[in-house]
Structure 1
Amino acid sequence: MTYPSLRDWLFSVKTFAASMLALYLALIFELPRPYWAMASVYIVSNPFVGATRSKALYRALGTALGAAAAITLVPPFVETPLLFSVIVATWTGTLLYLAMSDRTARSYVFMLAGYTMPLIALPTVTDPTTVFDVAIARTEEITLGIICASVIGSNFLPSRLAPTLIERADAWFRDAAWYGRETLSGHIAGKDVSACRQRLANTVNQLEFLLSQLGYDHTHPGILTRAETLRGRMQLFLPMISALADPLIALRQDLKVWPEGLDALLNDAARWFDEPLPTRAADMHDNAGDPEADNLRARIAGLQPARDALTSWEGALLSNALWRLGQVIDVWQDCRALRSLIAHQDGAWRPRYRHWRLGGTERFYDRGLMLFSCLVPVSAILVACWLWVSSGWHDGAGAVTLAAVACCFFAALDEPAPMVFRFFVATAASVVFAGLYLFVALPKVHDFEMLVLLFAGPFILIGTLIPRPAFNVVTMLVAVNTATFISVQSAYEADFLVFLNSNIAGVAGLLFAYIWVRATRPFGAELAARRLLRSSWNDVALSASPTPIADQRNLTSRMLDRLMQLIPRLAASDDHRHPSIESFRDLRIALNALDLRRSRHKLDGDVPDAIDRVLAGVSEHYARCAQQSARQSAPPALLATIDDALHRVASRALAQTPPAGAGETVANAATPPRALVSQRWLRDTLHALVGVRLALYPAAASQAPSGGEAIA
């Protein structure tokens, strides 16, 4: 067991001090529910200043929005309880959908507004004239807690998010270096490799939310821009290094062809991945560059096959492998440079990897699954309200509100039921703790100082576990619920029956929420993964279709984002046909199809028609996969179509090859610029076709394209 660190203890003491300050001020100001100020501190507090500030701001906005909705909706609809239940459920579901549509810290506004409205509105339906007072008081109490948490967290030994960003990035570099070494040695499967792939994708996903909080940490805008660019390069590394594996495996294992010097190049590239990150910003300036990366690029250029060698299958594979290795080196150098500039906050940067597809901002959202996830809390609120109204339970509002909170809080998870059950257990434990405080300890307390001493031990101890992801939810809920259930007032008032009835309502509501979520969402990550796969197949079909694409950069960013969502949902496996490996190949096919769509306009003769036939076959194949909701075997006819296109491209390149014996420099000097451009497009087209063939038919990598003489 790992004991709490000094940083954990510091966070807990600061949070407890802020909660006691909020409680003291709430008592001084005679707020009706001072314990809400104390509880709010534990809700918004985070070990890092930027996270606390962003959460505090968005909680204040969300509370104000939910309170305003309660004030607006309770008076006109309180006499029609069933209609009012529908309105409350619809409001909560709509705001929850907006929260799930925003993957930044800003989503907290919509989440809070969604369940704050029923928290205020439902307990006041028996006396609607009090809704305004309750809404104002709740806003004041929560705002007071937010201010105390922000002031204490920002001014007393504040912890910044930027060092955490560096720590997360360094962890990614360690995993990426190991993954790169394994890929260069030909290992693309195995549980360790699969688990590493999941960690890399998880880190990229977590950084998106972390970066949304970084702006509240007094971080320089330039650093924030570089951090976002670094995340984008991290996202590119996985598919790029995976794309390199196919031609290397084909050369090493299938064709048994291994050019002299390639082993040394790959070994040196793997060692470069492991090199320590730069410790000085000046090491990565544009003028200094990276000598090791420049040396690797020079060696790649030296191993490039001649143009006439591209007409052989081995030459085409080698050219493809070297081209992709160059891209990996460019991206890795960019990652190293950006990490150095973020750490040292000075220096200039110019990207090594440039591509016309970079710059997209679109993210992927499974709108259907999001809508269903929102309908579960909506239906839970409707059923719970119906049970409350039908039974006439005086404290039933507490059951409905906590059921709404639990269903909303974990709606975005693939499997929310286990977390709702933990919420139920934490709340039940809080009832016990609150009861012990209320009926055993508090009767002996006669001043605020003694109350602080009484709270200090348990709350500080629990607070040390809040920063830990494994305990965060449970310990935060225990602290918040215990503070709420104790219901500290300026004068001691305790009635066991009232305490038991009101708090059992909350526990009953959470038990209902668990049963309801378990019944309505029995599926887990498997369904989300299947839907992500089907959606990705639709996008591959779109990439290869003749349908105009408004912005190919956004299509690319959407496909990358979806892939990063898919990988963590797939279990680690030893299978070479594992969905994560196949999904990388799907992405490569889509990107190669976009390249083919672009290059066909630059070529003439019979090559564009051959490319069109390949694109049509790819589009039909993936449309069939999406229609069947299952991966289908690629048809043999499509392999023949790809081979035909490869022969035509190779023949075209052979026709432009200078006569034997002509020096490369002389040939280039004698070649018209238009012909040089055509040769470049032919080489790019050849790379794209080889990539499509390897991704669709990895088992046929050892077979040279049949049906012609140009490639054999």
Structure 2
Amino acid sequence: MHDWLASDGLVWLHLAKTLLAAFLAMGTAMRLELPQPRVAMTTTFVLMQPFSGMVLAKSVYRFGGTALGMLAALVLGAVFVQQAELYALALTLWVAACTGLAVRHRQFRWYGFVLAGYTAALIGIPAVTDPDTLLIATLTRGAEVMLGIVCSSVVSALVFPRHASATLMHSLDERQTRFAVFAADVLRARLSRIARERRFADFVDGIVGFEATRGFAAYESPAMRQGGAKLAQLNSAFMDACARLHALDQSMKRLRTDGTRCAHDALGPFLEELASVFESKSLCVQLERYKAALPRRLRDARRGLANADRATLLDFTTSAELLYRFIADTIRYAHAHASISGGEPGNARASSRYAARTNRFVVAATFTRTAIVIASAAWFWIGTAWPSGGYAVIGATLACALSSASARPSKFIAQMAAGAACAVVTGYTFLCHVYPGIDGFALLCAALAPPLAAGAFLAMRPGTAGYGTGFCVFFCLLAAPDNRIVYDPGLLLNNGLAILVAMIGAAIACAVVVPPRTPWLVGRTLAELRSQAALACEGRLANLSERFHSGTHDLMSQLRGLLVPRSREHRHALSWMLVTLEVGQAMIDLRHEARALHPLHFPETLRIAWSTALARVLHDVAALFRAPDSVTLRRAIGSVVASIIIADDVLESVHADRDARRDMQRVLACLHFVRTALVDPDAPFEARR
């Protein structure tokens, strides 16, 4: 029973709460004599989520989106009164703009913009032929939507509530355990290259999903809102630790393959000891002790390489610096995790902001597809004067809006069309045979429960979400009971046929007009991912690391949704993400270390040469990631090598100053790591883009 309650029991609980919220909204709307209780029902099916915070977050954005859509419906109806062509054009532009903004602002903000678009269509299109009813229709529509919001929120928060914060804390513990095991395997070189890349890709999904969960968990309690800064710091620290681990792994791999076995053998015992630390239970304490003794031990190990050549010493220094930075970032991550688990107060001023990015070409393509689909449906409606043509525009609007977050909108719309077809058949059966035989609200709820529960169950599963969404939304829209039911099967079939025709056309258009998986469009997103390295070279240093890591992981998460898992294109994109992370983080470290130098300690000629060389490195590396080819690669490598030569001269000039010497050694380590990353044969710089 305990296992069932923790698995399938949660599914049944969610279905029961969804039906309870829907029937509560319908019954209250009927009691208040609102004209269309079906709208309140539809709202509950769109809003209900497994966690209370998810429902509250969607409710907030649905409230704002509904208010904005109501205002747009009033303005468009007033400006273009009795001008159907101009009204259709303005509505098309409004819905397309809202859908484009929804793609730009994802997660629950997506829902607010989507709702602002299709609410204007749902209100304005039925009233376009009778402008006198526009104001009343807008107000009643708003009241019905708000009623659905209230019912969903009340049921979710009061009836066996499930809190995302508890799930969030459990996922944090699991993530730390998985990271410790993964770090130990990487340090011992137990994993193949493909296995390492897949594990890093899984962490990308976890990082992006954590940000989404953190966002709606803040709606559940004041404690979660106050702890949002600590959670953001934790996710930022985890991204840094993952990037450091990858950089250290790449550096050790290059030591193994380039033949510099002396440096690799000298660092091998440190990696083995660190792997054992990650397998211990008190990770934070053990890492602190290990870090305290590490600098002295590394200096002793470097003295043992006194007879080695300069290249070996530089390799050792670079890998040792990466090892130390990895330990420091992991300690920061472990401290942040312990702080959250122990309930310590956070420092809101040091909070990190997750930077979600969507390429402007993706937004423009979404705008274009939506505009074409809705304009075609509106032209068909006006040209044929079909009484049910307005439902075709509504169906096209809903299809484009609800599928805008999908990586395959044509497939999602086709599923919605199949669900809508089932909704028409089921609605016809209810209208002709079920509703006439029902007496009382309780019997009405009992009759509606089986089909609505089946639709809600399908909507819960990612593979069948389109079928369930299409069935629930269009069954409520076409055949749900109102205060005064119109028993007209012909009207139901006409409206359902209009919706099906529009959705089939929308599916075809989304498959033809620049679909999200178009190689050119995927390439633009990949170019945006590469440009994160340019951001690391040119962006403001304040919070640059957080912006760099969050933007890179967010873009890779988008690419993982667009590309077929384990395909050649997917591996190519993952290779670009990893090299962007390692080079970008190294450039950020280089800029910080260069800022910490004291140029007055250098001779004037070296000071000018160093400043010029550093500026050239930043420019050429940024140019390489913006336009990777053999020319920009050779130019970037030449710039880095030239800067290493100048940095060596600077190091010789400050050799007597211990602090300046250490600072310059760290700069040299950053430059050397960038050089090894650029000349790595596994790097995708000269691969076909």
Asked whether the two chains share a fold, i.e. TM above 0.5, the reply is yes
Q: Report the counterpart of residue 303 of structure 1 in structure 2.
A: 298
1:104-135: CA deviation from partner (whole Å, max 9, x where unpaired): 53343222111110111112112121111211
Q: How far 1:248 sits from its partner (Å)? A: 0.8
Q: Report the counterpart of residue 667 of structure 2 in structure 1.
A: 685
Q: Distance in 2 between matches of 1:567 and 1:188?
A: 22
Q: Report the counterpart of residue 550 of structure 2 in structure 1.
A: 561
Q: Distance in 2 between matches of 1:176 and 1:611?
A: 39
State the TM-score, normalized to the length of structure 2: 0.87
Cα contact 1:610–1:644 (8 A) shared by 2 = no
The partner residue of 2:29 within 26, 36, 56 is 26
Q: How far 1:274 sits from its partner (Å)? A: 4.5
Letter of the 2:272 counterpart: N
State the TM-score, normalized to the length of structure 1: 0.84
1:375-410: CA deviation from partner (whole Å, max 9, x where unpaired): 221222112111110111111111111211211222
Q: Distance in 2 between matches of 1:581 and 1:25?
A: 55
Q: Which deviates further from its counterpart, 251-260 or 385-394?
A: 251-260
**1:326 equivalenced with 2:324 (yes/no):** yes
Describe the shift of the 1:550–1:464 C-alpha distance in structure 2 as closer, same or farther (beyond 3 A).
closer
Describe the shift of the 1:215–1:577 C-alpha distance in structure 2 as closer, same or farther (beyond 3 A).
closer
Q: Report the counterpart of residue 662 of structure 1 in structure 2.
A: none
Describe the shift of the 1:268–1:512 C-alpha distance in structure 2 as closer, same or farther (beyond 3 A).
same
Q: Which deviates further from its counterpart, 83-92 or 301-310?
A: 301-310
The partner residue of 1:38 within 33, 36, 41 is 41
Q: Distance in 1 between matches of 2:448 and 2:640?
A: 72
SS of the residue corresponding to residue 401 of structure 2 reads: helix
Describe the shift of the 1:539–1:371 C-alpha distance in structure 2 as closer, same or farther (beyond 3 A).
same
SS of the residue corresponding to residue 157 of structure 1 reads: coil
Describe the shift of the 1:394–1:149 C-alpha distance in structure 2 as closer, same or farther (beyond 3 A).
same
Q: How far 1:242 sits from its partner (Å)? A: 1.4
Q: Report the counterpart of residue 261 of structure 2 in structure 1.
A: 256
Q: Report the counterpart of residue 344 of structure 2 in structure 1.
A: 347
Describe the shift of the 1:541–1:655 C-alpha distance in structure 2 as closer, same or farther (beyond 3 A).
same
Q: Distance in 2 between matches of 1:523 and 1:141?
A: 35
Q: Report the counterpart of residue 708 of structure 1 in structure 2.
A: none
Q: Distance in 2 between matches of 1:277 and 1:222?
A: 27
The partner residue of 2:201 within 193, 198, 203 is 198
Q: How far 1:682 sits from its partner (Å)? A: 0.7
SS of the residue corresponding to residue 82 of structure 2 reads: coil
Higher relative contact order (CA 8 A, sep 6+): 1
Describe the shift of the 1:84–1:180 C-alpha distance in structure 2 as closer, same or farther (beyond 3 A).
same
Cα contact 2:410–2:507 (8 A) shared by 1 = yes
Q: Report the counterpart of residue 498 of structure 2 in structure 1.
A: 505
Q: Distance in 2 between matches of 1:69 and 1:462?
A: 31
Q: How far 1:539 sits from its partner (Å)? A: 5.2
Q: Distance in 2 between matches of 1:234 and 1:585?
A: 18
Describe the shift of the 1:498–1:277 C-alpha distance in structure 2 as closer, same or farther (beyond 3 A).
farther
Q: Which deviates further from its counterpart, 108-117 or 563-572?
A: 563-572
Q: Report the counterpart of residue 60 of structure 1 in structure 2.
A: 63
**1:429 equivalenced with 2:422 (yes/no):** yes
SS of the residue corresponding to residue 34 of structure 2 reads: coil
1:279-308: CA deviation from partner (whole Å, max 9, x where unpaired): xxxxxxxxxx62344225524541245589
Cα contact 1:180–1:273 (8 A) shared by 2 = yes
Cα contact 1:596–1:611 (8 A) shared by 2 = no
Describe the shift of the 1:429–1:341 C-alpha distance in structure 2 as closer, same or farther (beyond 3 A).
farther
Paired residues, number: 662
Q: Report the counterpart of residue 687 of structure 2 in structure 1.
A: none
Structure 2, unaligned runs of 5 or more: 684-689
Q: Distance in 1 between matches of 2:289 and 2:117?
A: 54
Q: Report the counterpart of residue 282 of structure 1 in structure 2.
A: none
The partner residue of 1:143 within 128, 141, 146 is 146
Q: Report the counterpart of residue 507 of structure 2 in structure 1.
A: 514
Q: Indicate the structure with greater helix content.
A: 2
Describe the shift of the 1:321–1:611 C-alpha distance in structure 2 as closer, same or farther (beyond 3 A).
farther
**1:580 equivalenced with 2:574 (yes/no):** yes
Letter of the 2:647 counterpart: V
Cα contact 1:338–1:349 (8 A) shared by 2 = no
SS of the residue corresponding to residue 439 of structure 1 reads: helix
Cα contact 1:186–1:248 (8 A) shared by 2 = no
Letter of the 2:234 counterpart: L
The partner residue of 1:222 within 220, 223, 226 is 226
Q: Report the counterpart of residue 399 of structure 2 in structure 1.
A: 406
Q: Report the counterpart of residue 285 of structure 2 in structure 1.
A: 290
Describe the shift of the 1:492–1:365 C-alpha distance in structure 2 as closer, same or farther (beyond 3 A).
closer
Q: Distance in 2 between matches of 1:485 and 1:521?
A: 31
Cα contact 1:634–1:696 (8 A) shared by 2 = no
**1:161 equivalenced with 2:150 (yes/no):** no
Q: Which deviates further from its counterpart, 246-255 or 510-519?
A: 246-255
1:22-72: CA deviation from partner (whole Å, max 9, x where unpaired): 111111111111122122111111111111112122212211221122122
Letter of the 1:295 counterpart: Y
CA RMSD of aligned residues (A): 3.3
**1:455 equivalenced with 2:453 (yes/no):** no
Q: Distance in 2 between matches of 1:641 and 1:303?
A: 30
1:471-505: CA deviation from partner (whole Å, max 9, x where unpaired): 44432442232233223033554222111001111
Q: Report the counterpart of residue 336 of structure 1 in structure 2.
A: 334
Identical residues among aligned pairs (%): 22
Q: Report the counterpart of residue 648 of structure 2 in structure 1.
A: 650
Letter of the 1:98 counterpart: L
Describe the shift of the 1:573–1:505 C-alpha distance in structure 2 as closer, same or farther (beyond 3 A).
closer
Q: Report the counterpart of residue 710 of structure 1 in structure 2.
A: none
1:313-359: CA deviation from partner (whole Å, max 9, x where unpaired): 22222222222222222332333333343344x236799xxxx9x95
